[in-house]
Amino acid sequence: MTSLVHRARSTVPLISRIVAALVGGYALAALVSVAVLALPIGRPQAVLVGQLASFAVYAGAVIWVFAVRSAAKAWTGLVVVVLALLPLAWWGAR
């Protein structure tokens, strides 16, 4: 039983990080690609800027998730940036 708990303790944070990197990172990149619509440039140009930048954002998010000390910290970081971007994305997508 204790070995099972020990096992869970070591694998759950890793799985959490992998999910944060794959899913959270993509969600963040997608949100950035919508938030750039708030920029004061033409819509077709803004869409392309968002698409071009999204892969750098995704890669950066994955690096962040594995660079920080804990899985909890990784998630917190992602959520904070998402919350900051949400109003921009909402305003840009009007």
Partner 1 sequence: MTGRGVEVEDDPRGAGRGIRQSMSGLHTWAGLLLGWILYAMFLTGTVSYFKDELSQWMRPELPRLQQLPDQAVVAQRVADELGIIAPGASQWSLRLPDARNNSVYAFWLGATRGPGRRGFAEGHFDPATGHSVSSRDTLGGDFFYRFHFQFYYMPVLWGRLLAGVAAMFMLVAIVAGVITHKKIFVDFFTFRWGKGQRSWLDAHNALSVFGLPFHAMITYTGLVTLMALYMPWGERAAFKTPAERQQLAAELSAFLQPGKPSGQPVPLASVEAMVRQAQQRWGHDAIGRVNAVHPGDAAARVAVTRADASRVSMSPQSMEFDGTTGELLAVHDHVGAAAETRGVLYGLHLGRFSDTVMRWLYFLVSLMGTAMVGTGLVMWTVKRRQKLPDPHRPHIGFRLVERLNIATIAGLSVAMTGFLWANRLLPVALPARAGWEINAFFIVWAATLLHALLRPARSAWVEQLWGAAVLLGLLPILNALTTARPLWRSLADGDWVFAGVDLMCWALALLHAVLALRTARHGAGVRSSTQRSPTVALASGEGAR
Binding site for partner 1 (CB under 8 A): 10-11, 13-14, 17, 29-30, 33-34, 36-37, 41-52, 54-56, 58-59, 62-63, 66-67, 69-71, 89, 92-93
Shortest approach of partner 1 to residue 79 CB, angstroms? 19
Shortest approach of partner 1 to residue 85 CB, angstroms? 12
Which CB sits closer to partner 1, 43 or 79?
43
> Which residues lie closer than 8 Å to 91 by C-beta, 6 or more apart?
38
Q: Under DSSP, is residue 68 helix (H, G, I), strand (E, B) or coil? A: coil
The closest of 87, 48, 80 to 64, measured between CA atoms, is: 80
User: Maximum CA pair distance of the chain?
Assistant: 60
Which CB sits closer to partner 1, 78 or 89?
89
Name the DSSP letter for residue 1: -
